[in-house]
Amino acid sequence: MLISMIAALALLTPVQAAVTVSPKILLPVVIENPLPGALGSLWSSRVDMYYGGNLVLPTVEGSAICHFDPCLGLEGLASGTTYVNVPVPMISGSIGKFLYVRPAEALPDLAIYLRVFDISQSAMDRGTQIPVVPETAALRQRIELLSVAIAPPFRSMLRIYDFDPDSSHAVLVSIFLPGPNHGILLDTRLLPMAQPADPHTFPGYAQLDLSYLADRAREVQVEVAPATDGLRFWAFVSTTNNQTQRVTLSTP
């Protein structure tokens, strides 16, 4: 059996071999079509890319890059080219998405910009840049998200992503009132990671609206720890001002 497996691997073409080792890149929030939010907000996102390498037309699986408008089906990245507002197809109910750069050698020369914004406020505010997270930056140990505002006029949402989606995966979330010796523990919750329909394309996901503690604190510290051995995750808190719809982030 081992000899057969080695022989099969030897038959892989260079393209197939690149596919097997292509690292994941997490886009934490992608809004393909404008999404109504609280208090009259209308949310959208934008993805821009720039490729500065020398490889010929490397591809970004999960996006739809074309060189012509209308798209004639020629996909791939041209060197020294910026792609503005790259389409990133989504499915209903999905929050984030994985991209794959092929061949992987093109990844260091690719810059990806992700911004989320409220269309209704676009004349006054360009929105917030969201970190684009390569697989190499996936977290394996507990993290602390500091200075999270949870009381009016703010609302905060904790968002957690699983790089290896599995229905058995979970995280332990602990929320503290900041102070000496880690402060006062307000609540602890075990959050299971929801399994996406397509785990190759979409991350596992969990979220927690922190507003339920607004009557006990105005600002908290959020600890996220893996509750499953080997879990690779990423997490952040988005805090929105209810009056201006301006978003700030608490990131690892």
Give 184-239 pLDDT, tens digit per residue.
999 999 999 999 999 999 999 999 999 999 999 999 999 999 999 999 999 999 99
pLDDT (tens digit, 9 = 90+) per residue, 76-122? 888 998 999 999 999 988 999 999 999 999 999 999 999 999 998 88
Instruction: Give the CA distances from residue 79 to residues 121, 238, 245, in Å, rounded to whole numbers and listed in that order.
Output: 35, 34, 37
Q: Which domains does the chain have, with CATH numbers?
A: 22-135 (no CATH), 138-250 (2.60.290)
pLDDT of amino acid 90: 93
Residue 40 contacts residue 48 (beta carbons within 8 Å): no
Q: What is the pLDDT of residue 1?
A: 37
How far is the C-alpha of 35 from the C-alpha of 41, rounded, in Å?
A: 8
35: its two tokens: 């999404």
Encoded tokens for 102: 């092929």
**8-22, 52-66, 74-88: the lowest-pLDDT one:** 8-22
Element housing 117 (H / E): strand 110-118
CA angle 214, 241, 94 (to 5 degrees): 90
Tens-place pLDDT, residues 139-158:
999 999 999 999 999 999 99
Could you tell me if 213 and 157 are in contact, meaning their C-beta atoms sit under 8 angstroms apart?
no
Q: Is the pLDDT at 75 greater than 90, yes or no?
A: no
Q: What is the pLDDT of residue 21?
A: 63
Q: What is the pLDDT of residue 91?
A: 92
Q: Is the bond leading into 89 cis (omega within 30 degrees of zero)?
A: no
pLDDT at 164: 97
The answer to whether the CB of 192 falls within 8 A of the CB of 206 is: yes
Nearest to 45 by CA among 53, 34, 36, 55: 34
Report pLDDT for 124. Answer: 83
pLDDT on residue 125 = 85
For residues 78 and 80, what is the distance between their CA atoms, to the nearest angstrom?
A: 6
Amino acid at 84: V
Exposed, middle or buried by CB within 10 Å (0-12, 13-18, 19+), for 121? middle
- Whether residue 171 is predicted with pLDDT greater than 60 in this model: the reply is yes
Give pTM, 2 decimals.
0.87
